[in-house]
Amino acid sequence: MKIVLAEKLTAHNDEIARSNRQHLDSAHVLALNFIGSPGTGKTSLLERTLHTRSPHQRMGVIEGDLFTARDAERIASHGIPVVQINTRGACHLDAAMVSRALSGIDLATVDLLLIENVGNLVCPAGCDLGEHVRVTVLSVTEGSDKPAKYPLVFCRSDAVVLTKLDLLDHTDFDLDAAVHDIHALNPDCEVFLTSARTGQGMERWSQWLSGLLR
């Protein structure tokens, strides 16, 4: 019975996700879902992305967090429309939460909508929010075994952004092995090597984002 319930819940979520995607499509907004562990640097990546964007790229942000509004406050300081979702302890965003958040954003003023999921590498992988593009964020301080240990999220991502590359020499992270494992799971996945602190890799990342809008 529990399995039946889980299927029903997923089906219901997928229905809302489809409706979110239609809503975004009709407003000509492209949405990205950023997934990664706590502390992997998702918010810092978004801040760098906002900082390096070209002036004609209009961005909005949905910030998923367990309890606080701290990340949303960081994003709002860049003068970007941002909506906070507090999941009150729930470990991932779902399509209904994003649907409610969408009503708080004037989509006519946004081309790219960046959704920061709750810090978690596991269940966000199985939950469609209605996004068009999925990005997994992985820091070199977490260990290069993560793609092999959490294959689902890497299989279902369009891009992987490796973060904190400035710390690479202070870790045992095996860059070649990580990139190899990501491409073994998902041959078409784009991989970006970045550092929000130094700006490394941000140009190529921003160009890729621009390319999504064409």
Partner from Mg ion, Zn ion, none binding residue 194, C-beta < 5-8 Å depending on class: none
Q: Please identify which residue in the block is written with the tokens 């949405």.
A: 31
Query: What is the C-alpha end-to-end distance of the chain, expressed in Å?
Result: 46
Beta-bridged to residue 162, according to DSSP, are: 138, 193
Instruction: Please say whether the beta carbons of 161 and 192 come within 8 A.
Output: yes
Q: Please identify which residue in the block is written with the tokens 């708080």.
A: 104
Q: Which of residues 166-185 bind Zn ion (CB under 5 A)?
A: none
Of 123 and 168, CB closest to Zn ion: 123
Name every residue whose Cβ is closer than 8 Å to that of residue 6 and which is 6 or more positions away in sequence: none
Stretches 109-117, 120-128, 163-171, 200-208: which one binds Zn ion (CB under 5 A)? 120-128
Q: Whole-angstrom Cα distance, residue 41 to residue 45?
A: 6
Of 16 and 140, CB closest to Mg ion: 140
**Least distance from C-beta 123 to Zn ion, angstroms?**
3
- Using CB under 5 A, which of 42, 48, 92, 156 touches Zn ion? 92
**Least distance from C-beta 76 to Mg ion, angstroms?**
13
- Using CB under 5 A, which of 42, 48, 156, 164 touches Mg ion? 42
- Using CB under 5 A, which of 20, 33, 40, 43 touches Mg ion? 43
Instruction: Please say whether the beta carbons of 137 and 170 come within 8 A.
Output: no
Nearest to 102 by CA among 115, 88, 89, 91: 115
- Using CB under 5 A, which of 24, 53, 61, 71 touches Mg ion? 71
* Residue 91 touches Zn ion, criterion: CB under 5 A: yes
Tokens in use for 4?
A: 């039946």
Stretches 16-24, 26-34, 69-77, 200-208: which one binds Mg ion (CB under 5 A)? 69-77
Q: Which of residues 8-67 bind Zn ion (CB under 5 A)?
A: none
Of 25 and 73, CB closest to Mg ion: 73
Question: What DSSP character marks residue 169?
Answer: G
Cα dihedral 89, 91, 96, 98 sign: positive
* Apex 159 CA angle, 157 and 165, nearest 5: 125
- Using CB under 5 A, which of 123, 167, 191, 212 touches Zn ion? 123
**Which residues would be at the binding site for Mg ion (CB under 5 A)?**
42-43, 71
**Which residues would be at the binding site for Zn ion (CB under 5 A)?**
91-92, 123
